[in-house]
Amino acid sequence: MRKKNRRSVSYNTLPSPHTTSSTETASTSSSSSSSPSLPSAGGLSMPDRFSLRSTKSYTSIPGAPSLSSSAISASASNLDDLSRPRKDFSIQAEEDDDGIDRSAWLQKALRKHPELQNLKERISPVSRAVAFGRTYNAPSTPDSGKEGPKPKGTMIVGEDMYLDKGKILQLIMQHLYHEGLKHSAHVLSGETNTDYMVNELNESRLVTLVRIALRDTERIWDLTVADKSHMDRQGDDDLEEHLNELEMLEEEPLEKDVNIWQEPVTGNITWSDKPQDNEPKSIHSASLNKLVENLTSPANPNMTFLKTFLLTYTTFTTAEKLLHKLIERYHVPQDRKPPNIRPEDWNTTTLMPIRLRVCNVLRKWIEEFEDELSSTRLLRTLKTFLETTLKPDGYVVLAEAMSAALARKMKQREIPPATITEPPPEPKVPRNVFSPSLSLMDINDEELARQLTLMEFETFRAIRPSELLNQVWNKPKQRHRAPNVVKMIRRFNEISNWVATSIVGSEKIRQRVKVMTKFLRLADILRKMNNFNTMVAVVAGINASAVHRLKWTKEEVMKGIWPQFAECERLMSNEGSYKTYRGALFQARPPCLPYLGVYLTDLTFIEDGNPDYVNELINFSKRSLIYTVIAKIQQFQLLPYNFYPIHQIWEYIKRFPSMEEAELYSTSLKIEPRKADRSEIL
């Protein structure tokens, strides 16, 4: 290996992560298109419906405009010009001992072999970010002075969406100051004729912005290119969610939709047969316009329909489009007024009732579904409507009430505490509750049931309706949308494993009998507390194969306990789709923690067994079935359990022991071998 003779190299000769020209980028893109199995980051393959932009500001430098990760990424290619030699810069190239200048070899090789450039972008996050920036900042196709059509997968942005060289130089100089290289910063300022605005910051903004840009572009890379052969609707949803977080998604062209007031009076809606004469007709299927029209109809206000719509609308439209339709509905066209009716009469009988219904829907939406109103763009549209439309039209009180409710909900995201008037029962605190050696057998059976119930109900009460839609809890790429449902499922499995581990982990049969007896009693106490979810987890642990085979341990458990356990098993029998359990749940008085698995099974059958659309109309009957299940869950979320939490027991429960299934069974065989006599069991 030859030793290099390194001459003085100025800051601007530092190698650029990606120094191909715009023509080289085009070559790279064309090369990537010829390789369908692994497309290039330079030509990110985005879903057709996505048009990207960026407005989100992550950080800023005083005196400079706000900077976004996409702006840094889009501007990264400008660094190439800084790294190229300039006439007014003192550049001395790096040479080997033979005097041959090899500083441009990499660029020449990449230009001659585009497949190397393609590979470089794949293995280097920085190169991918630069390629992303070039694509993102691609110019529009000129056509008679107008912006041309956007190529598929290309992201277009205006001149104000990337950093010019002056801003980049400011970032570099701030970085040099931060690293203590003030002399280098002054040299850079002089050679580039750029005045540096000194800012005493505790971080290098250049490094921070590059990290953010790399993080965001790498996430887009992962969701579009990294595993394109396995991309499906779930992957598209994840990509859309990430782009929404970056505010890089352009609004869908709503103007292509039929205006709600131009929807045909007849058609586009079908009705279900009403089971009884005294019940209102229910919509079977309809277009979005017809649903919103019935939602805001003054003639037939239906609270169940309103709740069903607001709870399930995300399965067939977006919050932005719904708000757009409500605003459309508010603006009643003047040509709808019959000529033989006086304006004041028409305002009283038609215009005002419709507008009030629209306001009532908006108020209900704000008060109960504020999580879906977190988008900055959506909030801006809603606030503009309240200030520039409702108030001038004379609905000042309504507008201010909705504004106050919106502000209150944005500040208070936590679940409000329930009002309980009766004092909780006296806790049965273990004597050694503060001891680090606190064990299972030290905790009273009833108190253990209480603390388990408090912990489980806390998660159950936090479940949002959106977590129960579209089976997101069951889709690996969408489980982040159902954190509390996933937590309850995981906790259920952990408790079941804890029960089996505690029994099998007791080496002596006497100790195993005590532990098994404790859990048998615990299951019965949970049943009497109406905590069916945790009860089923305990029953599942006792019925685990590693525990079920412990013949001699079960023989020595007191006979009077087994009938109580049998009642738990009978209650949760899956015969008749859990008919016995459903009957007991119907008669149960809150507080109650239902078995979540039954509801998830019901929702799965509804989702899989009913189409989303019927003859291109939204299948609202399916949404009504979904609402019925979720409403049952919500009624049990209202009244919590009234017990004192004991922190030390919670900490013990959080760290209980567990074994893998294979280890459980092998340990079970050791403590009670197959065909062993009682005399052989310790």
- In the prediction, which pLDDT does 98 show? 62
CATH number of 445-680: 1.10.840.10
CA distance 613 to 622: 9
- In the prediction, which pLDDT does 204 show? 80
Inter-CA distances, 245 with 57, 224, 388, Å: 12, 16, 28
Structure tokens at 500: 């089996």
- In the prediction, which pLDDT does 84 show? 44
Structure tokens at 358: 């629209």
- In the prediction, which pLDDT does 114 show? 75
- In the prediction, which pLDDT does 48 show? 36
- In the prediction, which pLDDT does 227 show? 42
CA distance 386 to 56: 24
- In the prediction, which pLDDT does 224 show? 56
- In the prediction, which pLDDT does 25 show? 38
CB 323 within 8 A of CB 332: no
CA distance 520 to 508: 18
At a CB cut-off of 8 Å and minimum separation 6, what does 382 contact? 323, 362, 373, 406
CA 668 to chain centre: 41
Give the position of tokens 């763009």.
377
Give the position of tokens 């987890």.
537
Question: What does the pLDDT look like over 501-517, one tens digit per residue?
Answer: 999 999 899 999 999 99
- In the prediction, which pLDDT does 7 show? 36
CB 572 within 8 A of CB 445: no
Among 26-30, 356-360, 375-379, 556-560, whose mean pLDDT is lowest? 26-30
Question: What does the pLDDT look like over 359-371, one tens digit per residue?
Answer: 999 999 988 876 6
Is the pLDDT score of 499 beyond 60? Answer: yes
CA distance 433 to 443: 8
- In the prediction, which pLDDT does 316 show? 94
Among 169-183, 196-210, 239-253, whose mean pLDDT is lowest? 239-253
Rounded to an integer, the average pLDDT of 379-394 is: 90
Residue 38 confidence class, pLDDT cut points 50, 70, 90: very low
- In the prediction, which pLDDT does 540 show? 96
Beta strands in 188-299 (DSSP E): 269-272, 282-286
Edge-to-edge strands, sheet with 617-619 = 269-272, 282-286, 617-619, 613-614
Is the pLDDT score of 682 beyond 50? Answer: yes
Is the pLDDT score of 333 beyond 60? Answer: yes
Rounded to an integer, the average pLDDT of 50-66 is: 36
Question: What does the pLDDT look like over 613-644, one tens digit per residue?
Answer: 999 999 999 999 999 999 999 999 999 999 99
Question: What does the pLDDT look like over 108-126, one tens digit per residue?
Answer: 777 777 777 777 666 666 6
Rounded to an integer, the average pLDDT of 408-418 is: 64
Q: What sign results for the dihedral spanned by CA atoms 148, 150, 154, 157?
A: positive
Half-sphere exposure of 398 (CA within 13 A, CB side): 20
Cis ω on the peptide bond leading into residue 343 (within 30° of 0)?
no
Structure tokens at 35: 């390789």
Which of 267, 385, 269 is CA-nearest to residue 328?
Answer: 385
Structure tokens at 543: 């019925």
Give the position of tokens 């929807």.
263
CA distance 77 to 79: 5
State which amino acid sits at residue 292.
V
**Assigned fold of 286-408:** Son of sevenless (SoS) protein; Chain S, domain 1 (1.20.870)
Which of 9, 171, 7, 185 is CA-nearest to residue 89?
Answer: 9
Beta strands in 601-664 (DSSP E): 613-614, 617-619
Question: What does the pLDDT look like over 76-94, one tens digit per residue?
Answer: 444 444 444 444 433 344 4
- In the prediction, which pLDDT does 461 show? 95
